[in-house]
Structure 1
């Protein structure tokens, strides 16, 4: 993926995470506090810096709520904020960023590694002082966070990548979850719960005549009401558990029984214990079934596939990122 494409993808990740935070209180506009909260659980340098400085998602949410209540009291309003609920942004539409959040989040020539650090710096310098007051409630200074940020930048690597080699297209996406590996394992290791983090799938059931194989059917519409456009031959899928090392690694293999010449799909989910939570890594692989293709099909794929390769890399990268977001929503 190009430098520009990587920054745009990171921008998208942060924007969606901020919108998800605002949706917990049924708000359609994501403001600077939602962007600040979104940064905490990212696998980018800004997220590492905040967590190393002792900022947890739960404490930061409480500090934001307390600061809002304080500001309302200053103007004589004692009504509290709406009670938070589950993240609902993926089920609704009409979400957007406030103007000041757009200005902070909008890229200005950085690469993927330095981009999130610049977003964090802009938040710390934001003229309203809201984030500064939140940090006071957390007993953390901007100087402490910036010191941790410098160390995080030295050790930084891209959190989402996409690569292509002969016959295999691979994308990797990582994030931080404020939950134990055991808690996350219960979600990602259960075949019948895959639709909870792969929104394209509807029902999943075990095939009684084939032990260890599940059959999934694609949804007709996504949770937000958007219609799914799926070819009839791709609607039915078979799922196999290729590897299970509890609670560390699970690999799911997905094939298309009605379209044997379609690429096979693999989802690898790796859970690594981290301070105050777990590092989540999702690898998506689209594997060309060369052993099932005729010579004519192989030549045709080579001719058509080459110019489409950058588009496919972007598609697979976004797919891996969406899986990490969907898993993350269960624990935020």
Structure 2
């Protein structure tokens, strides 16, 4: 992945999480504190360093809320720190970055910085307002010690970007989920819970046999807005292709009313991690009809970069749906 593409991918992933956190506070302006919260669940170097120093999502949320309350108290306003709501970003619209948050993004990609999560975190710590410094101290972290670890990571060139298969419409992504493996497995192994993490599926009907296949309705709205869906794509069939208890599951989605034989295959591999669990996701668009092979080869050659970007976006949308359940 090129430096530009990696920076763009990082911005997309962190933006989703940060704006989801902003929505919990009932605001539409995503600021640097929301970006810090997003970094606590980042699977790349920035998130690993934060969690390794004890800054998990719940602790960071409490520190941000306490900092907001302290700022309001300075002007004589009482704050209810228990009044935070749920994430509603996926149901609403109109979110934007503040000017100082945009400045952090610019700084993270300037000079020798690559725009990855470690660079974003370093730019946050250097941000001149002092807000992040105060939040870090509430978390019991020394900003200078954090800078030192980030500098070491930059010198070592540590990074784990999303990976793509060269000759197929397939992508892989490793994410961190702030929840126990058993809880995540319960979500990902149940056909009826697929709509909670897959925005393409609206409703899954019970299987007559209990083991599938399941019939599902395709979602016709997103973020409260209608989505155009072809008649041939309104119905889906869901198959459970592989199942290894608490470790591995593969779902296959087809459109039985469509003349296109392409199936969407989603695989999850679960493993324990400090403060939660690590989830390895694979998304593949697979076809079977031989006469379509030439067409696919042409598409890969001409539209390869665009299709890989679309696969990456679909992976991050699933990531957002999964982590949102536990946040």
Residue 101 of structure 1, CA deviation? 0.6
1:4/1:111 contact within 8 Å kept: no
Deviates more, 1:136-145 or 1:301-310: 301-310
Given that 2:37 and 2:61 are in contact with CA atoms closer than 8 Å, whether structure 1 keeps it comes out as yes
- What are structure 1's unaligned runs of at least 5 residues? none
Q: Hey, what does 2:21 align to over in structure 1?
A: 21
1:328 aligned residue: 323
Matches within 5 A, 1:24-173: 24-81=24-81, 83-106=83-106, 108-109=109-110, 115-150=116-151, 152-153=153-154, 154=156, 156-165=158-167, 168-173=168-173
Instruction: Determine the C-alpha separation between the residues in 1 that align with 2:115 and 2:19.
Output: 22
Between stretches 198-207 and 113-122, larger displacement belongs to 113-122
**Paired residue total:** 325
Equivalent position of 2:249 in the other structure: 250
Q: Distance in 2 between matches of 1:29 and 1:322?
A: 21
Q: Provide Cα deviations, 1:45-86, integer angstroms capped at 9, x if missing partner.
A: 111111111111111111111112112222222233571121
Render the CA deviation track for 1:186-240: whole Å, top value 9, x for unaligned: 1111001101111111111134279521111111212x12222222222221111
**Distance in 2 between residues matched to 1:124 and 1:227, nearest whole Å:** 40
Give me the whole-angstrom Cα distance separating, in 1, the residues matched to 2:225 and 2:135: 37
Say if 2:40 and 2:47, in contact at 8 Å, map to a contact too.
Answer: yes
Of stretches 127-136 and 2-11 in structure 1, the one that deviates more from structure 2 is 2-11
TM-score of the pair, normalised by structure 2: 0.92
1:276 Cα deviation after fit: 1.1
Equivalent-residue separation in structure 2 for 1:102 and 1:127 (angstroms): 13
Residue 8 of structure 1, CA deviation:
0.9
Q: Aligned partners of 2:112, 2:41: CA distance in 1, in Å?
A: 20
Work out whether residues 268 and 284 of structure 1, in 8 Å CA contact, stay in contact via their aligned partners in 2.
yes
In structure 1, what is the Cα distance between the partners aligned to 2:99 and 2:249?
41
State the alpha-carbon separation in 1 of the partners of residues 116 and 301 from structure 2.
Answer: 30
Residue in 2 that maps onto 1:183: 183
Structure 2: where are the runs of 5+ without partners?
Answer: none
**SS at 2:165 equivalent:** strand
Residue 267 of structure 2 is matched in structure 1 by 268
Per the alignment, residue 220 of structure 1 pairs with 220
Question: Aligned-residue CA RMSD in angstroms?
Answer: 2.2
| Structure 2 CA distance for partners of 1:279 and 1:14, relative to 1, 3 Å | same
Paired with 1:94 and 1:229, the residues of 2 have a C-alpha distance of 21
